[in-house]
Structure 1
Amino acid sequence: MGVASKLERVGPDAETYRQLRHRLEPVYRWVRSRFEVDTRALAAVRISFGLILLVDLFIRWGNIERFYTNDGAYPIEAYEATYSQFTGLSIHALSGELWFQQLLFVIAGLFAMAFALGYRTRLVGFVSLALLLSLQARNPALLNGGDKLLRVLLFLALLTPLGERWSIDALRRGSARARESVVSFATAALLIQPLMVFSQNAVLKHQGDTWYEGEALQIALSNDVMTIFLGNHLASYPALLEVLNWAWVGLLAGSVLFLLVTDGRLRAAFALVYMGAFAGMFLTMSVGLFPFVLTTALLPFLTPPFWSALRRLVPTSLTDRLPSASRLRSFIGQPVERRVFDALERRGYESKTSFVRAYCSSLLTVISVLALLSILVYGTAYVTDYDLPDELETPVDQQSWGLYAPNPTEGYSWYAVEAQLESGDEIDAFGDGNVTADRPPDASKEYDTFRDRKFMETVWASGNGDTNGVIAVDYAEWACERATETHGDSVESITVHRFYQPSPVDGEYEETGRFTVIEQTC
């Protein structure tokens, strides 16, 4: 009688639960579909990140001695004395010799290629991430928002199965094991991260007074240091710039609606629109890796209809020439760990191998949940100026994304180093001419790369009291050595000048300002 009464009490509760579950099933499917990612998109993310890492190394290689060795402008002593949040995080800081840096660059390049090919994807990917963090920590003065977004997105992507398709790992497993799509907390974090960047940037731009008045893009493209290629010509079309200004603001503010709420072909179409905007950014603004990283961030939003359509565009004659998967698999062989697990299972240790696999899967889930919460908590706290408890404060990778926000700068700078000789003559320390305040015809060409521009901005800040002046002093000592190599021992001192030009938003240039960054006796 007691058991029957318990069943009677449990019965209605169980039925209520089943009804509630039935009613919520459509909501669950809707939410799940919004965070589901095609594994071909994840493969494209992997390949794109591998190529970005290679391009980044190639760009940095040109100034490897200047920015990463003790003979350059940022020796290890400067690394140890500045940017304390990065202290001890760089393998590159173990030696200031040129050969050591070149070796690490080559190693990082090999791992980046292996990552793009999908060879032991997760392991190789985490090694690539560690080398990237080490490289960035060695000289943080070179970094912009694109570098921070790169390391954040790469970490989130590594929590997903990037090697599921189009990879050496996939060939080892066999095509039968490949999933068409995946959904998890990791894919949710990977999708939410770019939306946080866009939404937060839209809010920050609203705190200014130019973006939501349609004027900001014209101001931004009047910055001759930041404007390149097509951007040098768009300034002549203010009406077009106003339309593009409002279109960009609309894409930022509506990113959650356009990219997360939508699905299928519509989501893919919106993702392609955003990618078109990033291509426009690459053709107009010198912002480093940002356009490529943002494009990679949008690849997971490309849905199965897009990849199926793309597959139909590939000629069958091309795919027929590729070696068969079975032939490649026999050449590559199974991974060592797979062979070990199979051997253990044959010997009766199936329960233990299952435990290891379940543990690893659970660990990834926990890390993914924490990553997703971190994006939401830190991103929301930054844009709302909410002070987090001290226990939650972190010195690195806070979710702050303020590119051209709240307003674009209304002026630009370039730098020159002047050498004073024993004869009293003052000449360009690195050339034969004289240093003048004449505005260059294209100020963006005053810098070798965008990293050179970022570094000189830090030198200027250091000369005005930031980082205790260490970076400015080290740069001046390096400039002395360069000047002596160019002009001989007749160089007595050098002076680093900063020239500031207000942007000609109204078509007229104001007078160029000239400031002394630092003076150094050689």
Structure 2
Amino acid sequence: MDTNSPDPHAEYSPTDRLRVRLDPVWSRIRSRFIVDTRSLAAMRIALGLTLLIDLLHRAGSMAQFYTDSGVYPLSVYEATYSQFTGLSIHALSGELWFQQLLFVVAGLLAVAFVFGYRTRLVGALSLILLFSLHARNPAVLNGGDRLLRVILFVALTTPLGERWSVDALRRGSARSAVASFGTVAVLLQPLIVFISNAILKHQGETWYAGEALEIALKNDVMTILLGDVLASYPTVMTVLNYGWITLLSGSVLFLVVPVGRLRALAALAYIGAFSGMLVTMSVGIFPLGLIASVLPFLTAPFWDHLSRRVPDRWRNRLPTVDDLGPVGRPPIERRLLDGLRARGHAFAASYAVSYARSLLTVIGLLVVVWMLMFGAADVSDYSVPEEIDSATVDQQSWGLYAPDPSESYSWYVVEAELSNGTVIADLPGTADTFKHPPDAAGSYETFRHRKYLQKVQDSGEDDTGDEIAEAYADWACGQVATAHDRPVDQLTVSRVYQPSPLDGSLDTARPFTVIEWECQAS
């Protein structure tokens, strides 16, 4: 080696030489956070459809859960879950028509979001209505609801309407890929969910021993469809248990380290696992939120391969954005910027664009900090600063089936004594027997009814007070009286506790009285 050879970087300053040496490293890091805009479009569509599915699912119990004639009237809303008081538009009225109106508005916004019309504005309005709906009755929520609002919030820091959208057609152009703090946030969020859950499961005794999934699927209240079949095959359960733990704990290795086809294959493996949750466990929209969260990991080779699978006779008929050019009137912000330039204010237009991009960068960075801060606090002894430590802000808690799945489950029986002395137990959404029902999950009308009855049971034992239990009892009295056209004198709500049959045999179920209530004459 010729030691007298000139240093190719000698003409650079020390700062420039450091930058040149770090450029390859930075390039590799940046490549891990570039997202194909088709993946963002798929995420937008998945989130919009999830919003629609959630609204349709809730609509069947709208009167019961969101009006003054149901189990959670405004008087109870104002007396419980004080951290959400005043944060719900849905709480402006307890009338059914008002809830129906808000549901219709939310549905229309979700449809507009799916099609990518005014994507950020429509998405923000959808998020506001979603949080308002959640705040109106927190007693029916589970982790899937939190995941949906968190994923939607984080996703809005990215250009969700860049492709496959009305917005793209109006612009007449689209980027193929983007990289920003927003894409960093949208890729980190599912990793925080997976890693947090893996750490919390490690604090238990059964997941890393290969036993937890079998225990979870023996829970007849939480197991549905294919889950009832899989529960009969312990060896399969052990294999799936370790596979699930591997996906959670190895998420950084599988989803961040690789690029190209390997990353897409890893993302498809996660999507397959979450799809399995849909047909085995009664956990609401949690699997749909998880599927939406990993779609940004699908890379260009996946979409290119998928497009090649489209028959030529169809593909040739599908014009691209570049083929069409701008469709209709440009967005209002584009028209304002063009107006400034036409009036000779090109500098002001450029400043406005730069300011908007800088603002999005700052917001994306703050979202990343928020995610990491509260995610770390959830799985460690770290405490967030007191100034921002609130239940409304702290949304990074992901403890599904952690640290261990429950080894028991319950169903509820509502007995009503009519004025003629007849005792009946036929309230919809509850079981009609203290014996083990053929399908314990089917004893609940929906998983939200299960969540609410758990809150009824807990009422009086925690800081929510007795209001939830009393309001439920009053509502149940009215439901039974209306169904039988006869006054109800007394109502008893019982919880039936059933240990999971881990050894294949059911132990004797034990009933406990939750409420004894004297019904008011109507």
How does the TM-score come out when normalised to structure 2? 0.94
Superposed CA deviations along residues 11-65 of structure 1, whole A, max 9, x for unmatched, are 9895222221121111100100011100000000111111000000000000000
- Partner in structure 2 of residue 21 of structure 1: 19
Task: Summarize the alignment of residues 364-513 of structure 1 with structure 2, pairs less than 5 Å apart.
Answer: 364-396=360-392, 397-428=394-425, 430=427, 435-513=432-510
**Deviations 1:90-125 (CA, angstroms, capped at 9, x unpaired):** 100000100000010000000100011000111111
Confirm or deny: 8 A CA contact 1:463 1:517 kept in the other structure.
no
Residue 429 of structure 1 deviates from its aligned partner by 5.0
Match of 1:299 among 287, 290, 295: 295
Q: Which residue of 2 aligns with 1:199?
A: 195
Q: Distance in 2 between matches of 1:45 and 1:75?
A: 35
Quote the residue 2:128 is aligned against.
130
- Counterpart CA distance in 2 for 1:211 and 1:81 is 39
Using the TM superposition, give the Cα deviation of residue 159 of structure 1 relative to its aligned residue in structure 2, in angstroms.
0.8
- Cα shift at 1:354: 2.1
Alignment of 1:341-360 (within 5 A): 341-360=337-356
Tell me the CA shift for residue 144 of structure 1: 0.8
Which residue identity does 1:400 align to in structure 2? S
Deviations 1:69-97 (A, max 9, x none): 00000011111111111111110000010
Higher helix share: 1
Tell me the residue number matched to 1:4: none
For 1:332, what is the secondary structure of its paired residue?
A: coil
Counterpart Cα distance in 1 of 2:301 and 2:376 = 33
CA distance in 1: counterparts of 2:241 and 2:36, whole angstroms: 32
Deviates more, 1:440-449 or 1:16-25: 16-25
Query: Equivalent residue for 1:188?
Result: 184
Of 236-245 and 382-391, deviating more is 382-391
Match of 2:103 in 1: 105
Counterpart amino acid of residue 450 in structure 2: R
Residue 323 (structure 1) shift = 6.3
Partner Cα separation in structure 2 for residue 322 and residue 14 of structure 1: 51
| 8 Å Cα contact 2:185/2:364 also seen in 1 | yes
Letter in 2 for 1:292: L
Query: 1:6 maps to which residue?
Result: none
- Counterpart residue type for residue 293 of structure 2: A
TM-score, scaled relative to structure 1: 0.94
Could you tell me whether the CA contact under 8 Å between 1:501 and 1:510 is conserved in 2? yes
Offset at 1:326? 7.9
The 1:327–1:200 alpha-carbon spacing in structure 2 relative to 1, beyond 3 Å, is closer
Matched, 1:226 2:222: yes
- The alignment partner of 2:515 has SS state of strand
What secondary structure, in the 3-state scheme, does the structure 1 residue paired with 2:256 have?
A: helix
Among 330, 337, 341, the alignment partner of 2:333 is: 337
The corresponding residue for 1:275 is: 271
Deviations 1:378-399 (A, max 9, x none): 1112101222331231212431
Any conservation in 2 of the 1:495–1:516 contact (CA below 8 Å)? yes
Separation in structure 2 between the aligned mates of residue 497 and residue 82 of structure 1, nearest angstrom = 23
Further displaced range: 457-466 or 473-482: 457-466
Q: CA deviation at 1:337?
A: 2.7
Matching residue of 2:142 = 144
Q: 1:48 aligns with which of 28, 46, 49?
A: 46
Does the CA contact (< 8 Å) of 2:150 and 2:395 recur in 1?
A: no
Structure 2 residue 244 is the aligned partner of structure 1 residue 248: yes
CA distance in 2 between partners of 1:345 and 1:395 (Å): 46
Query: Superposition pairs for residues 510-521 of structure 1, below 5 Å?
Result: 510-521=507-518
Map 1:21-100 → 2, pairs under 5 A? 21-100=19-98
Please tell me the root mean square deviation across aligned C-alpha atoms, in Å: 1.8
The aligned counterpart of 1:3 is: none
Residue 373 of structure 1 and its aligned partner are, at CA, apart by: 0.7
Whole-angstrom distance in 2 between the partners of 1:164 and 1:367: 19
Query: For 1:185-212, what per-residue CA distance to the aligned partner results, in whole angstroms no more than 9, with x for missing partners?
Result: 1100110110011011111001000001
Contact 2:375 2:396 in 1 (8 A): yes
Secondary structure of 1:26's aligned partner: helix
- Quick check: 1:427–1:434 contact (8 Å CA) kept in 2? no
Q: Tell me if structure 2 keeps the 8 A contact 1:429–1:486.
A: no
SS at match of 1:413: strand
Q: CA deviation at 1:434?
A: 9.9
2:400 alignment partner AA: L
Superposed CA deviations along residues 338-374 of structure 1, whole A, max 9, x for unmatched, are 2222122101122222222222221111111111011
Match of 2:3 in 1: none
Identity %: 58
Letter of the structure 2 residue corresponding to residue 266 of structure 1: L
User: When the two structures are aligned, how many residues end up with a matched partner?
Assistant: 509
In structure 2, what is the equivalent of residue 8 of structure 1?
Answer: none
User: Comparing 345-354 with 220-229, which one deviates more in the overlay?
Assistant: 345-354
Aligned partners of 1:465 and 1:296: how far apart in 2?
A: 34
Counterpart residue number, 1:319:
315
Moved more, 59-68 or 320-329: 320-329
Q: Name the amino acid aligned to 1:426.
A: V
Larger mean Cα displacement after TM superposition, 326-335 or 462-471:
326-335
Contact 1:418 1:495 in 2 (8 A): yes
Structure 1: state its 5+ residue gaps.
1-10
Deviation at 1:266, TM superposition (A): 0.7
Contact 1:91 1:134 in 2 (8 A): yes
What SS does the aligned partner of 2:458 have? helix
CA distance in 1, matches of 2:336, 2:225: 55
For residues 462 and 125 of structure 2, what CA distance do their matches in structure 1 show?
37
Question: For residues 316 and 515 of structure 1, do their structure 2 counterparts lie closer, same or farther at Cα, with a shift above 3 Å needed?
Answer: same
What letter matches 1:172 in structure 2? R
Structure 2 residues not aligned, in runs of 5+: 1-8
The answer (yes or no) to whether the contact 2:144–2:289 under 8 Å persists in 1 is: yes
Residues 224 and 444 in structure 1, CA contact (< 8 A), matched pair in contact too: yes
